[in-house]
Amino acid sequence: MSRTAPPFARILNLVVDIEPHEIKAVALAFACNFVLLGSYYILRPLRDTMATVFGADQLQNLYTGTFVFTFLCAPLFSAVAARTKLTKFLPGLFWFWFANILLFYLLFETGPQNRWVAAAYFWWFSVMNLFIISVFWTFMADIFSDHQATRLFAFIAAGGSTGAIAGPIITTSLVTVIGPGGLLLIAAAGFLLVIAFIYSLVAEKAKFRKLSDEAQKTTLDHALPGNPFRGFKLLFASRFLTGQAMFMLLMTWVATIVYFLQTDYIAKAYTGVDSRTQAFADIDLLVNLASAAILIFGSGRLVQRFGVTAGLVLSPVLMFVCFVVMAFSPTLFLVQTARGIQRVSQYAIARPSREILFTVVDQQSKYKAKNVIDTVVYRFGDVTAAWLQAGVRMAGFGLAGVVTLGIFCSAGWGFIAAAQGRRYEALRNEAQ
């Protein structure tokens, strides 16, 4: 970057390899992800707390319901996208979720300890959270090219991680003062800011693609025609997209196995709803501090230097090691540590690396097939891992069986990650 560039641009270039014409689009994306994940992490501890209200021993049923609702929402998402211009569809989704938050505020006020309100919130959040993240990163892959994504996606992801630091701080500071309902109102205000950023990014994409030869040349002034199940068809018609689904499935299996262990240990260690909420929020804070630091100072440079394949493979290798260690010492501390490593490596390394892969596919695949992978496949991984884990325990294998399952899942995940990295490089070379 030139010495004549503005001071802000020179400072920014110390942590991310960015060109002057990219600064506005990247700044908007960073800010949008900051507020989005900040709101997300206000809502997330409430979801985990509602799981304990409904019953930790009923998690497999909560996960089954989550999968059913996700499966129903995916074709609905595709159907609306087929009839609505993307310029209206993208912000419209966030207006809908904003209204949902206000509805749950009213429900929490009337029945805060109601098991079915707890289940409804768990299901709603567990469906909604995947859609908001998927939509955001699909939009990013529709703005930036593969070359730009390699340089910029880690920094944009850092916006989410720094916002995710603010969310747990707000939760732990205010949960005992304003309760779950008050936290929902704060999250709703955050979604209003996200909507404003989405409108700005929609306008910026049209300008940005004219300023940069590298940027994606697609437009948002059209709908995405096709039947509601177009995303499923695209997924199974492409070896590359099927590999993406397998990567997501195994990553989810590993995450779900560790999450079940964490929920079980916390339910035994803490008795009150407020204390459990604070415990989950404290863990979120530590995870997001580590993720932000890695994303800002290391992840982007790692992918640029060693390639996307290295970024994809690192997380499964780390989790393989964690499960082996837990096999010898399954303590609360080690379970919490493994959960932290799983989330940090997934958010700071695997996610930005995985999102780069979608920059080399067409717009229909970005918005429809990716949505199926990010939601239906993800929740299918959740529910199958939940019931597999329950089956392992019912068969009498206990913790040793669960940890062994985690070891095999991590090994398979690493194999798929390496294969996807090679396919991405082949597609990228074909496009040049």
pLDDT band at 18 (very low <50, low <70, confident <90, very high): confident
Structural domain span for residue 108: 17-217+227-431
Helix axes 239-269, 59-83, angle to 10 degrees: 140
More confident residue, 320 or 400: 320
Instruction: Give the range among 54-58, 71-75, 294-298, 397-401 with minimum mean pLDDT.
Output: 54-58
More confident residue, 201 or 19: 201
What's the rounded mean pLDDT across residues 34-63? 79
What's the rounded mean pLDDT across residues 82-93? 94
pLDDT at 316: 94
Q: Are 227 and 80 spatial neighbours (Cβ–Cβ below 8 Å)?
A: no
Which pTM was predicted?
0.84
**Residue 10 within a domain:** no
**Residue 282 within a domain:** yes
Using a 10 angstrom Cβ sphere, with 0-12 exposed, 13-18 middle and 19 or more buried, the burial of residue 267 is middle
Please check the confidence at residue 43 and state whether its pLDDT lies above 60: yes
Cα-based distances in Å from 298 to 14, 90, 150, 284: 12, 31, 13, 20
Q: How many domains, in total, are found in the chain?
A: 1
What's the rounded mean pLDDT across residues 415-424? 94
pLDDT tens per residue across span 360-391: 999 999 999 999 999 999 888 877 887 777 77
**Residue 167 within a domain:** yes
What's the rounded mean pLDDT across residues 235-253? 94
**Residue 3 within a domain:** no
**Residue 266 within a domain:** yes
> Per 3-state DSSP, what percentage of the chain is helix, strand, and coil (rounded to 5)?
90, 0, 10
What's the rounded mean pLDDT across residues 350-360? 90
**Residue 35 within a domain:** yes
**Residue 336 within a domain:** yes
**Residue 80 within a domain:** yes
Domain CATH code at residue 249: 1.20.1250.20
Instruction: DSSP for 10-51, please give it.
Output: HHHTTTS---GGGHHHHHHHHHHHHHHHHHHHHHHHHHHHHH
What's the rounded mean pLDDT across residues 134-140? 94
**Structural tokens at position 382:** 């959740």
Q: Are 281 and 175 spatial neighbours (Cβ–Cβ below 8 Å)?
A: yes
